[in-house]
Amino acid sequence: MNYLKTAILLAGMTALFLGVGFLLAGQAGLVIALVVALGMNAFAYWNADKMVLRMYGAREVDEASAPDFYGLVRELSERAGLPMPRVYVIENAQPNAFATGRNPENAAVAATTGLLGMLSRDEIAGVMAHELAHVKHRDTLTMTITATLAGAISMLANFGLFFGGMRERDNPLGIVGVIAMAILAPLAAMLVQMAISRTREYAADRGGAEICGNPMALASALNKIAGAAHRVENPQAEANPATAHMFIINPLSGQRMDNLFSTHPDTENRIAALRELAGEWGTGGGGTAAQNEARGGHAPAPWQRSSHGGSSARGPWG
């Protein structure tokens, strides 16, 4: 049902884009819109992952520089039956993570230092499993196309407004209609984009729980991340709000409600769905991290435990 809903919404986004072109300039506008859509999506297909990783100053790590974190991602990738993605760390105090890449063979996952410093190993496993579920479901490509189309719709509507609907004889709307289109079309595109994003988050939560085998570890992680994400600013995300849908929790401040204008489902709704899944599996309260959280404790982060049971100041990113 989630795949069907996503397909319908993506088809609606494409139809909206072509419709804007047609209403602004007739058949010529439709052709222009189609060419622009193909060109922008081709560029995004090959370059979107590099652009967003560069935007956030992500640093690639490997088994030598981040053995704990890299090894965890490798273990989860093997469980999911996926090729090993490139692994990145972002120097950012806000706990968060995202996945990008055009397909599983060219995927990358990234986590902030804030996330690696706050969560236990079980919780980090839940978060990275969620991101790998996005890769497995090819959500990274879907959301790249959706974001590209949304941006193209806004560009086309503004272009039509700037030129007064292009040639009046080809424009059935008139100047008033063009102004309305310039306002309503980007708004409609944004709503569709957000609806697709919310649908894919629920599916990735379930897929991530299946990969890591512990729904409540992911639920505990979401609870911690959501609580911190609205207290700790993410300057890069605030400067580039179009990328907010990529993260496991909305990185922008003040986005708590599960409504038409939210890029993510309400965190409590996601946690409730994971609890229900844990009940279906008979796992009860979940794994160690969730049990410690329920008792008011916090499981140590993976770099706070040494092989001798002591502590270590070394972070998993080296």
Give the residue numbers of the binding site for Zn(2+): 130, 134, 201
Crossing angle between the packed helical segments 174-212 and 2-55, to the nearest 10 degrees = 90
DSSP letters spanning 150-165: HHHHHHHHHHHHHTTS
CB 209 within 8 A of CB 274: yes
131 among known catalytic residues: yes
Q: With DSSP H G I counted as helix, E B as strand and the rest as coil, what are the percentages for the chain, rounded to 5? A: 65, 5, 30
Per annotation, catalytic residue among 63, 75, 78, 131: 131
With b for 16 or more beta-carbon neighbours within 10 A and e for fewer, the 47-77 pattern comes to ebbeebbeebebbebeeeebbbbbebbeebb
Residue ranges of the annotated binding site are 130, 134, 201
Q: Is 280 exposed, middle or buried (0-12, 13-18, 19+ CB in 10 A)?
A: exposed
Separation between Cα atoms, residue 138 and residue 120, nearest integer Å: 27
Chain CA centroid to CA 229, Å: 14
- How many of the other CB atoms lie within 10 Å of CB of 155? 13
Task: Please give the positions annotated as active site.
Answer: 131
